[in-house]
Chains A and B, each alone.
Chain A
C-alpha cells in the first residue's frame, strides 16, 4: 500500500501518481483528502484505493475496474460514469451519486442526495440510509437499492432498470410504478448486500417504468409533407404549410418534429459582401499552395491542439441521427482533407476512430456512449450545452432509429422514442461547469483540448462563462444550424442568427479582455468557402459544416431525417436502407467538396491581398442590407461594387 498525502500533494499530482501506481498494480491510500474534488478520476486499473476522510465532487469519476473505499462523505457525482469496479462510501453522498454509471457497484452507508443514479445505464447503486428526492431520475438501466426511505418523485421518467426500496416510498415520479418482486430478485439483492456485509431487510418494494411515456401515443400521420423550406415566413399568412401543420396536429395532438436546417429567412452571411474588387480571384491556379491555411485549435491553454489543414472542421452530428456508414464516410472524408471530425451524441465507434484523422468526442446530458476509454482515444473533448437549431432541447431519436445495436453503444433500452435530457445532471450553472471541465482534464491528464458547444441565445453571457470556465475553444452555433430531429416550433423560433452570434461573442470577449483566451469555431448555416471566409473576417478562428457535408455525401434534403426511413441510407438505422449508402464513394465526394472549400478560402484570401487566412479582417466586408449593417456594424453598401464605393469616396 502506497500513501499519497493531499496535505502535501495537489489533487492533480496525486491523480497522476495514482494512475502510475495503478498501472503498476499497487494499492493506494489517500490521506487528508479534506473533501477535495476529483480524487481518483481517470483511474482504470484493478487496484484498491482507500480514501481516509471525505472526498469532494466526482470521487472515482470516469474510472474502470478500481475498487474505492471512502471512509467518510463524498460530494456530488460519486462514481460518475464508472464502468466497472466499486465505491464504498462510509458516510453520506451529495447529489447525483452514481450518475451515468455503466456497470459499477456503488454503496453508500449513510444517506444520499437528490437525483441518485440519474441517467445510469447499468450496475448497482445501493444506499443504506435514506435517499433524497428523484432517485432514479431518467435512469436507463441497472438497479438502485434504497434500504431507508426514498424521497419525492422516485423513478421520475426512468425508462428502464429497477429501484428497490426497503423503507417508505414517499411518492412515485412521472411514469414510474410499483410492481411485484420475484424471489430470484430478492435472492440477488441479498447476495449483493451480503457481499458488502449489509444486513438485508425483511422486504422490498419494487419500482419500474410504467411505460406510459416511452413512445409517442399516436404516430405522426404518414403523408407527403410539404418541405419546410417551401414556406418560410415570407409566404402568405395561412399558407398550405400552416394548414398541413394544423391537420397533422389535429391527429397527433402534439408538436411536430423535423430534421434539417433553418427554414425561415434571417439575416445571414449572404447579406454581407466583400469590399474589394475580387475579379482576380482564382487567377492563380496554385493559390491553394500559396496561401497559409493551417490552423491550430485548442492549444491555447497548453493542451495538444487539433492541427487543421485549413480553418474548417466537421460539425458534430450524432451516430443515431446518422447511420454508421455515414459517420464512417465523414470520418474518411475529413481525414483525406486533413480536418477534424466530431462524434456528436451517441458514442464513438472503432471504425470511425480509425478512419478519422482527428476526432472530437462529444459529451451530452444523457451521457449516451460516453466513457473513459473513448475519452482517452479522442483528440479533443466537447461538452454540449446546446445547439443553434434547438437551444434548450435535448436530442430526439424516434423508436425506428433506436435499434439494438445503437441502444447497446448508448447503454439504453432499444425501441423507445428516445428524448435525450436537455440538461447535464451535474452542470446546473457556470460554477458546476468549471468543476466538470476540471474532471475531464484530470481524466485525460490535461493533454487534450476541451471545448463547449453553444447554441446562440444569450451568447453574450454564455461566451464569457465559457472563457472564465477555462474552455480551450467554443463551437458556436447560430439559429440557422441544422438538426437530426427537433421540434419545428423551436427550430424556427428560438435563438439568434449565426451572424448576430459571432458579433456578440466577439464583442463580449473583447469587453472582458478575453479574446485571446479562447478560440471560436462558428457554424450554423455555413454553406461553402465563401461563407467561411466571411466568418473568418468577422473574427472566427475556424468554421464547421454540417448540412453541406451531408449533402456533399448524398443527402437529398427531404427534411425527413427524424423518420428513420432515409432513402439515401444517411439518416437511418435500417440496414436495408443503409445498404444503399456507399461510404467509400461518399467519402470521396465529401473530400472533393471540402477541397472546393479549401480552394474558395485560398482564392478569396489571396484576392483580398493576404497570404495567410489569419490576416482576414472585418475591414474587408460591407453589409448589403440595413439589418446586416445593424447587426454587424459594417458599413451599409447595397451596391457593394468597388465602383459604387469609390463614388462615395471610400478607398478600395
Chain B
C-alpha cells in the first residue's frame, strides 16, 4: 500500500539526492497520500553519529524537557554531544560515541522515539506529501550520494509520523529500508530474531526486513547474499529497496505481485514503483528502463 523510490549517484560530487527523491515521490504520491519519508546518506561521514528523534507535539507538553531527558540519557551512555537542532517535530543530535551502537540504540529506543541512527544515514519522515515534508524539513537541502523514499497509505487510526517509512534497522546504524508488499510469515521470522536478542519497535514488516538484512551483514555476509537469502526466507509479496552507507539494493518476490522498475546510466541508478517517478528525473525524455525479474535481487555500490 505504497510507492517506493531509490537513487544512487555514481560519482562523488555534490548531488541533489533530496530534490531527486522529492520529485520521484511526488510522481507516485497517488500510491500513498498519507505520509512520506526519506532515507538520506550524506557524502562523507564525519566520524560522528547522527541521531534523529521524533518529539510528538500532541502528547509532549514539555518539548524542551523531553529533549533534556534525551540529552541526559545520551550523556549517561557515554556520548559527547557536538551539535543539536530541532527541525520540524524532530530533535537532531550529532554525537561522538565509541561504544556498542546496538546497545546505544536499544537504550535510546526505550527512552524516546528514535527515527534513525547512523554515521551517514538520516531518516526524515512525517505525515503529508513529499512537498509537505520537504517544506517542514528542507529535504531539498540534502545532497548526499544516495537515498530511498516512500509514500504511504495508512490504515491505522491516525496517520502517525513514527509509523511512516522508511524504517531503519533498529540497532544497526546506517541500514534503511523501503518496502511495498506484505510479509506473511512476519511473526515467525520476528520470533526467530527476537530469540537472538534483537528488539523491534513496531509491528511493521518493513522493520523486520531491515533487521533481518542488517543481522546478516553484521555477521559478515555481503548485502547481495543477504538479499538472495531473503527471497527464500520471506513469504508473501514484496518489492523492497535497502540502503547502507555505500550500497543500495533491491529484492523482489517470486510472484512479482508488486511493481518495480529501474533506470541506469553512467551517472546514476534509479529504482521506483512506477516509471512515472523515474521520468520525473528526466522530464520530456523517454527512458530505457528495465523491470527486474520475479525472484531477483541486485546491489549497487558507490565505488562503481
Report A's interface with B, CB cutoff 8 A.
7, 32, 34-37, 52-54, 56-57, 71-73, 75-76, 91-92, 94-95, 111, 113-114, 132-133, 151-152, 428-432, 434-435, 438, 460-461, 464-465, 468-469, 511-512
Q: Which of chain A's residues have a CB closer than 8 A to the CB of B256? A: 95, 113-114, 132-133
Interface size class of B (residues with CB under 8 A): 35 or more
Among B34, B286, B289, the residue within 8 A (CB) of A468 is B34
A431-B32, A431-B180, A468-B34 in contact; A54/B259 too (CB < 8 A)?
A: no
What's the minimum C-beta distance from A474 to chain B, rounded to whole angstroms? 15
Of all chain A residues, the one with the shortest Cβ separation from B280 is A34
A460 CA to B156 CA, complexed, in Å? 9
What's the minimum C-beta distance from B97 to chain A, rounded to whole angstroms? 39
A34-B283, A35-B275, A429-B258 in contact; A511/B290 too (CB < 8 A)?
A: no
A36 CA to B30 CA, complexed, in Å? 12
Among B33, B153, B274, the residue within 8 A (CB) of A56 is B274
Mask of B164-207 contacts with A, CB within 8 angstroms, 1/0: 00000000000000001100000000000000000000000000
Q: Which of chain A's residues have a CB closer than 8 A to the CB of B83? A: none
Task: Please tell me if B279 contacts chain A, counting CB pairs below 8 Å.
Answer: yes
B153 touches A465 (CB 8 A): yes
Of all chain A residues, the one with the shortest Cβ separation from B28 is A431
Task: Please tell me if B269 contacts chain A, counting CB pairs below 8 Å.
Answer: no
Q: Which of chain A's residues have a CB closer than 8 A to the CB of B257? A: 428-429
Among A94, A132, A465, the residue within 8 A (CB) of B155 is A465
A91 touches B286 (CB 8 A): yes
Query: For the complex, would chain A's binding face be called helix, strand, loop or mixed by DSSP majority?
Result: loop
A34-B279, A34-B283 in contact; A94/B261 too (CB < 8 A)?
A: yes
Task: Please tell me if B287 contacts chain A, counting CB pairs below 8 Å.
Answer: yes
A57 touches B274 (CB 8 A): yes
Report B's interface with A, CB cutoff 8 A.
1-3, 30-34, 153, 155, 157-158, 180-181, 237, 256-259, 261, 273-276, 278-280, 283-291, 293-294
B276 touches A34 (CB 8 A): yes
A431 touches B283 (CB 8 A): no
A52 CA to B284 CA, complexed, in Å? 9
Q: Which of chain B's residues have a CB closer than 8 A to the CB of A461? A: 155
What's the minimum C-beta distance from B265 to chain A, rounded to whole angstroms? 15
- Can you report 29 A-B residue pairs in the complex whose CB atoms are below 8 A from each other? A7-B284, A34-B276, A34-B283, A35-B274, A52-B286, A57-B274, A73-B286, A75-B259, A75-B261, A92-B290, A95-B256, A113-B256, A114-B256, A133-B256, A133-B293, A133-B294, A151-B294, A428-B237, A429-B1, A429-B180, A429-B237, A429-B257, A429-B258, A465-B1, A465-B155, A468-B34, A511-B157, A511-B158, A512-B157
A35 touches B291 (CB 8 A): no
Q: Which of chain A's residues have a CB closer than 8 A to the CB of B289? A: 54, 73, 92
Q: Which of chain A's residues have a CB closer than 8 A to the CB of B291? A: 92, 94-95, 111, 113, 132
A92-B289, A94-B291, A429-B258 in contact; A54/B31 too (CB < 8 A)?
A: no
Q: Which of chain A's residues have a CB closer than 8 A to the CB of B157? A: 511-512
Of all chain A residues, the one with the shortest Cβ separation from B284 is A32
Q: Which of chain B's residues have a CB closer than 8 A to the CB of A92? A: 289-291
Of all chain A residues, the one with the shortest Cβ separation from B157 is A511
A75 touches B286 (CB 8 A): no
Q: Which of chain A's residues have a CB closer than 8 A to the CB of B261? A: 75, 94
Q: Which of chain B's residues have a CB closer than 8 A to the CB of A113? A: 256, 291
A54 CA to B261 CA, complexed, in Å? 13
B294 touches A54 (CB 8 A): no
Of all chain B residues, the one with the shortest Cβ separation from A7 is B284
A32-B283, A132-B256 in contact; A512/B158 too (CB < 8 A)?
A: yes
A434 touches B30 (CB 8 A): yes
Q: Which of chain B's residues have a CB closer than 8 A to the CB of A52? A: 286
A34-B283, A435-B30, A465-B155 in contact; A94/B288 too (CB < 8 A)?
A: no
What's the minimum C-beta distance from B34 to chain A, rounded to whole angstroms? 7
What's the minimum C-beta distance from A158 to chain B, rounded to whole angstroms? 18
What's the minimum C-beta distance from A439 to chain B, rounded to whole angstroms? 12
A57 CA to B258 CA, complexed, in Å? 14
